[in-house]
Structure 1
Amino acid sequence: MATIYQVAERAGVSLSTVSRVLNGKSTVNQALKERVEKAVKELDYRPSSVARSLANNRSDSVGVLVPELNSPFFGHLMQTVESTMRAADKHVIITVGRNCLATEKDAVEFLISRNCDALIMHAEALSDEYLIELNEKKLPIALVNRQIDDLPDACSSLNNEKGGYLATQHLLELGHKNIAYISGPTEKRDAAQRLEGHKRALNEAGIAVNTQLIFNGDYSEEDGKVGLLELLARDIPFSALVCANDWMASGAISCARDLGMSLPHDLSIVGFDDVVFAHHVFPRLTTVSNPIDKMAKEAANYILNKVYGQNNKLQHLFEPSLVVRESTMHHDA
């Protein structure tokens, strides 16, 4: 493999001249520039990424922190960030935080140790204060699906409260009055906001919130099953169910069919996120669209602007929309 010394020798110039040409400096005489470029081509020289990083104090790599890998939702996030960065000739290093404070901190320290130029994170456990300090004192960060008032430009987030509202409003418009709800873990901001939207829709319809029709789940498919069984065991009639994500909705659908229910005749079900399997379950799932790919792209573009000098147009707050399929139907009181 050719070295930078061989390029300098072939071109008859100094190492510093070769370095300036390779780094795109405009201070090089055009004739010398052409000699270096000719030598690079003849020798098939490829600059070392390590050497480049030493020269410009950058690694051209960005750390990505996600809660888990086995999720279509976070798969979209990772795929979008990677493809956006790859198009800009940057690379990503991915770590998993598992929604655990210690694990998320370890992941951040690992990414810093790998000399990442910036971090793109879907972080739940890390405090606002920790993230603000990280951004100010160590390296730039971008946050997906999270809003911190002191870092407005670094955040891309969804109006989760409106999403929860849209899900329940849809059922109310179909004539449902007894509506159960399986929440995500309410210590998570998005889950708490979706539940607030559900309650607002009920209040606006003049329906009192019955806490016995709310089950606190953990966003897993299993808790969709457990949640439905628990709600049914409370022996309070309901004709519709809102789940705070599609995984739990999928579990609830599976459980309902195992119990012999005819869906949506016996029970209308709404999910949240519109992940890829939402239109493969039976009946196909009515859900709320969560544009994670768009939020991830905005986070990547923010880092490309902030760290690498690009000038991408940015959007920080995204609106959800209702996607109506066959898992909901009109209810005759």
Structure 2
Amino acid sequence: MTLITIKEVSDLAQVSQATVSRAINGHPTVKESNKLKVFEAIKKLGYKPNSFAQALASNRSNSIGMLVGTLDGPFFGPLMHNAENIIRQKNMHLIVTSGQESRTKEVDSIAFLQSKQVDGMIIHSDKLTDQELITIAQKNPAMVILNRYIPELDKQCICIDNELGGYLATKYLLENGHTKVGCITGQMSKIDSRDRFQGYRNALAEFSIPYDTNLVIEGRFDHQGNHEVVRRLLSRDNGITAIFCENDNIALAAYDICNEKNLSVGDDISIVGFDNDTYSQHIRPRLSTVNFPVVDMGLEAAHAVLAMIDKKSYPFKKRLVPELVIRDSVKKIK
């Protein structure tokens, strides 16, 4: 494939190379007749402008940086995919890096994105403090923060009501007659875990059921160690008839250990998850869970950061609402 040069465009259009460059970058001094000649030549030759040269001319990198927790999994995968779809429609590129549950790596990742002179950033941070994110936002005004609410950055945050989600999951179990409801949290260092746990406690309080620390245990949002955590919870002989798992990965581990202990999910024990991952409707019994609108979060984040870059207003949804998805993993008891 032969690379078409700006000189060939200028020769065909019979204008200077400087005029071609100005026309491509929308410079107002270019005559309309010359502009038409340039774009006709570009179309005929199939010329593709050099992105680096365009960036120099427009003072933009035509890229957006994104910090996520990890580069795999059923949450971050759809988040990145849907954000990138919108960004590519604007002929821009998404540069993604991950924090890997390390404060040092999160700081390093943001410094890396800034070194690339990205036009805007989408940040999902577990380890940085509110003040640290406020300081970063002051230097990077086109910045969207995901899954976290900081009052000082009210117009830059997109989050889900995790507390409401935890409440809906636990309330559903209580409404079905369960009074000994266990809770397996994610890492309590994560704000998602703490908010979902607060929702669990809110539901217990509403039904006048005393909070029992014996019914709660800390797990992880990934797959590491959750099987042993479920074993420990079920070995406490605490009369648990239902478990609220703070994400669907934890629920999968609960299914495995219940099978190991000859407990039938949806009969001997009831389980509700959180996230509504794809596999939750394919395991048996199908998992009742709380839907996390991760697709919406990715789309809204992309639209919001693009609007900030162009200094335009965009009425994005700052607080996404979780919904309970009822399937077959909960039994009603008297």
What amino acid is aligned across from residue 7 of structure 1 in structure 2? V
Matching residue of 1:293: 295
Q: Summarize the Cα distance change of 1:152–1:139 in structure 2 as closer, same or farther, 3 Å threshold.
A: closer
Q: How does 1:214-229 map to 2 (within 5 A)?
A: 214-229=216-231
Tell me if the contact between 1:122 and 1:145 (Cα under 8 Å) persists in the aligned partners. Answer: yes
Letter of the 2:35 counterpart? K
Q: Which residue of the partner structure matches residue 286 of structure 2?
A: 284
Match of 1:118 in 2: 120
Correspondence for 1:90 among 89, 92, 116? 92
**Is 1:184 equivalent to 2:186 in the alignment?**
yes
Amino acid at match of 1:104: E
- Tell me what 1:68 maps to: 70
Instruction: State the TM-score, normalized to the length of structure 2.
Output: 0.95
Greater displacement, 249-258 / 20-29: 20-29
Fraction of identical pairs, as percent: 37
Q: Distance in 2 between matches of 1:240 and 1:223?
A: 20
Stretch of structure 1 that moved more, 253-262 or 307-316: 307-316
- Aligned counterpart, 2:234: 232
Partner of 1:5: 7
1:52 to 51, 54, 69: 54
Moved more, 111-120 or 188-197: 111-120
Q: Give unpaired runs (5+ residues) of structure 2.
A: none
- Name the residue aligned to 2:30: 28
1:237-276 mapped onto 2 (5 Å cutoff): 237-276=239-278
Gaps of 5+ in 1: none
Moved more, 119-128 or 131-140: 131-140
**Aligned partners of 1:218, 1:41: CA distance in 2, in Å?**
54
How far, CA to CA, are the matches of 1:48 and 1:139 in structure 2? 27
Partner Cα distance (1:221, 1:31) in 2? 62
Larger displacement relative to structure 2 (131-140 or 316-325) = 131-140
Runs of 4+ in 1 over 6 A off after TM superposition: none
Deviation per CA, 1:93-149, whole angstroms, max 9, x where unpaired?
Answer: 111111210011111111122221111121111111121111112453211111111
Report the 3-state secondary structure (helix = DSSP H, G, I; strand = E; otherwise coil) of the residue aligned with 2:96. strand
- Give the counterpart letter for 2:229 in structure 1: G
- Of 301, 304, 307, 2:306 maps to 304
CA distance in 1, matches of 2:223, 2:325: 20
Shift of 1:39: 2.4
Aligned to 2:175: 173
- Secondary structure at the aligned position of 2:136 is classed as helix
TM norm structure 1:
0.95
- How far apart are the structure 2 equivalents of 1:126 and 1:141? 15
How far apart, in 1, do the equivalents of 2:50 and 2:82 lie? Answer: 27
CA contact under 8 A between 2:248 and 2:280: conserved in structure 1?
Answer: yes
Please state how far the C-alpha of 1:42 moved relative to its aligned partner. 3.4
SS of the residue aligned with 2:198?
helix
- Residue 142 of structure 2 corresponds to 140
Per-residue displacement from partner, 1:1-58 (whole Å, max 9, x unpaired)?
2222332233232333212211233442222122222222333321100000001111
Q: In 2, are the aligned partners of 1:59 and 1:117 still within 8 Å (CA)?
A: yes
Match of 2:195 in 1: 193
Partner-residue secondary structure (3-state), 1:187: coil
Is this contact kept in 2: 1:154–1:299, CA < 8 A?
Answer: no
1:312 CA drift (Å): 4.0
Deviation by residue 1:187-231 (Cα, 9 ceiling, x = unmatched): 211110110110010011010000010001122334432222111
Distance in 2, Cα, partners of 1:68 & 1:31: 51
